[in-house]
Structure 1
Amino acid sequence: LTGKALVDYVNENQQFFKAEYSPKVAQRRLGSLMKKEYLEDPIQKEAIASAEEPVINDGIPERWLSRLADKLVSDKRFDARTKWNECPSITQIRDQSNCGSCWAVSAAETMSDRLCIHSNGTIKTMISDTDLLSCCGSSCGYGFEPVRAIQMNIMKRGPVQAAFTVYEDFAHYKSGVYVVSLCLFTSVQS
């Protein structure tokens, strides 16, 4: 499925997000988007499985960690732009275009934000993603996934970086929580 047929399928067969057909999207080639045969990267899977769990508790006893997490993330709304309004880098989103360097761009943005936050707004430097790209080979790690740890880190220290694989249905995303459509992994005929 592709184009209007994909949008119709997404809207009829899942409730997480709404898609909207856009002729502009339909007209351009989506060749740079991930195809289903590349869904699972064995090297990435192994790297994630063998990664050490990060230390996130800063010396807080384990019995208190859960209570702290609940307190920190109990508010359903959190806006880093408001909390750290002295840091202009938080509002900026860099354009990586079609470079494939999302990890370097987002890491540099995160470092820039955290430098500003932890200096109380006195350091407003934009870290260079190009510098990161120049000193890293083809395998710089694949991150980790614990949602609670990420939520706590955002609330205590500021922005974190994240990346996800983009498929054609995301090009039609309108609202809601994006979840890749099942039709991209089955042989549904339009």
Structure 2
Amino acid sequence: MKLLVAALIASFSCVFTTPNRNEFSTLNTANPSLHKQLLTGMELVDYVNNNQQLFEASYTDANELRKKLMKPHYDRRIGKPQLQENEEDTAGIPESFDARTQWPHCPSISLIRDQADCGSCWAFAVGESISDRVCIATDANKTAEFSVEDILTCCDECGFGCDGGFPDAAWEYFVSTGVVTGGLYGTKNACRPYEISPCGNHPNETFYRNCTGVSTPSCKTSCQKGYPVSYKDDKTRGRKSYNLANSVSAIQKDILKHGPLVATFSVYEDFMYYKKGIYRYTHGGYEGGHAVRILGWGVENNVKYWIIANSWNTDWGEDGFFRMVRGINDCGIEESVSAGLY
């Protein structure tokens, strides 16, 4: 048993499973022969910018971003879909939708966080989506941010903290145990804000430290000093958690009704260099798994896309957000989707 546990821990950060053959058959649309000699760094950036027109790439320190991912070979554990949907049933679905403008009185929807050098994307995506959905369900009467820290450190069934975790288990934790209030690093008016300081250089932000990687903080069942509510009384519980079918319309209908939800996908090196536009895998080696919030969708120049919030600070991508091609399950974005209800 000890050997099994050790093997599991060794295999786990914020990226999931090694891509299967079906993924490669749909993703390698540029020049398959190049995948035998995978480009990297500036050569990859130049190749992406010269061989497709959907998105623009810009070089950044990929090693720093790798610390934000779940470790390679992390299994995507997504249960059997509990909400089935006929893919052809698109009645009532608008051509475009953006949760940020649909629910403007819920500030959490537009907020971009910074997970720093911890593979906590799974906890961020779920914690952020909980904040969004609670606000929406209460008509903005409850606008508190919920604690990523609580999910990351105290959910024993969720995974391995900064080495990666399971979004569906985090939703189950919200239902069974509840989550306290939280917020960004340094937040005062909350029970358990994010304990890990931002790292690296970001425009107009305080520099705290270099991104060297961190260990998972310990679980604390008490609120920070000065917060007037007890940990137990600060908990908010959900009433249901579920996984969605691999269906564009199922995802769209759930967002229309309840707000942003969580998707996981495989990350390749070209994604790290994304600057703007509609991302579609072009070239680059597999890096791991990542969990994000899908906020909506749209169409540009006849290309359908998802609107997605990342947790890599606002100086990455389109002010912290990115768009990804919709309808072809690019990098597995449409096959591992989970959500919950308040």
TM-score, reference length from structure 2: 0.42
- Bigger shift: 123-132 or 7-16? 7-16
Q: Would the aligned equivalents of 1:117 and 1:158 in 2 still touch at CA under 8 Å?
A: yes
Structure 1 or 2: larger helix share? 1
Alignment partner, residue 120 of structure 2:
101
Q: Would the aligned equivalents of 1:33 and 1:166 in 2 still touch at CA under 8 Å?
A: no
Aligned partners of 2:141 and 2:114: how far apart in 1?
A: 25
The 1:156/1:163 distance shift into structure 2, 3 A limit, reads same
Alignment partner, residue 30 of structure 1:
63
Gaps (5+ residues) in structure 1? 186-190
The 1:39/1:12 distance shift into structure 2, 3 A limit, reads farther
Alignment partner, residue 139 of structure 2:
120
Aligned partners of 1:180 and 1:79: how far apart in 2?
A: 23
The 1:181/1:150 distance shift into structure 2, 3 A limit, reads same
**CA deviation after TM superposition for structure 1 residue 31, in Å:** 6.0
**CA deviation after TM superposition for structure 1 residue 146, in Å:** 2.9
Alignment partner, residue 100 of structure 2:
81
Aligned partners of 2:84 and 2:129: how far apart in 1?
A: 17
* More relative contact order, 1 or 2 (CA 8 Å, 6+ apart): 1
Alignment of 1:128-139 (within 5 A): 128-133=147-152, 134-137=154-157, 138=159
Of residues 145, 166, 184 in structure 2, which corresponds to 1:140? 166
Structure 1 or 2: larger strand share? 2
Which residue identity does 1:70 align to in structure 2?
A: A
Of residues 48, 55, 59 in structure 1, which corresponds to 2:83? 55
Alignment partner, residue 49 of structure 2:
11
Cα distance per residue 1:87-146 (max 9 Å; x no partner): 111121221112111111111111111111111111112111111121233253566643
- Give percent identity, aligned residues only: 39
Of residues 160, 164, 170 in structure 1, which corresponds to 2:271? 170
Aligned partners of 1:40 and 1:147: how far apart in 2?
A: 26
The 1:112/1:141 distance shift into structure 2, 3 A limit, reads closer
Which residue identity does 2:147 align to in structure 1?
A: S
**CA deviation after TM superposition for structure 1 residue 166, in Å:** 3.2
Aligned partners of 1:79 and 1:112: how far apart in 2?
A: 17
The 1:159/1:181 distance shift into structure 2, 3 A limit, reads same
Q: Would the aligned equivalents of 1:102 and 1:163 in 2 still touch at CA under 8 Å?
A: no
Q: Would the aligned equivalents of 1:108 and 1:127 in 2 still touch at CA under 8 Å?
A: yes
Alignment partner, residue 154 of structure 1:
255
**CA deviation after TM superposition for structure 1 residue 78, in Å:** 1.6
**CA deviation after TM superposition for structure 1 residue 56, in Å:** 5.8
**CA deviation after TM superposition for structure 1 residue 160, in Å:** 1.0
Count of residue pairs brought into register by the alignment: 163
Aligned partners of 2:111 and 2:131: how far apart in 1?
A: 10
Alignment partner, residue 3 of structure 2:
none
Aligned partners of 1:116 and 1:101: how far apart in 2?
A: 23
Aligned partners of 2:111 and 2:65: how far apart in 1?
A: 24
TM-score, reference length from structure 1: 0.70
Alignment partner, residue 109 of structure 2:
90
Alignment partner, residue 17 of structure 2:
none
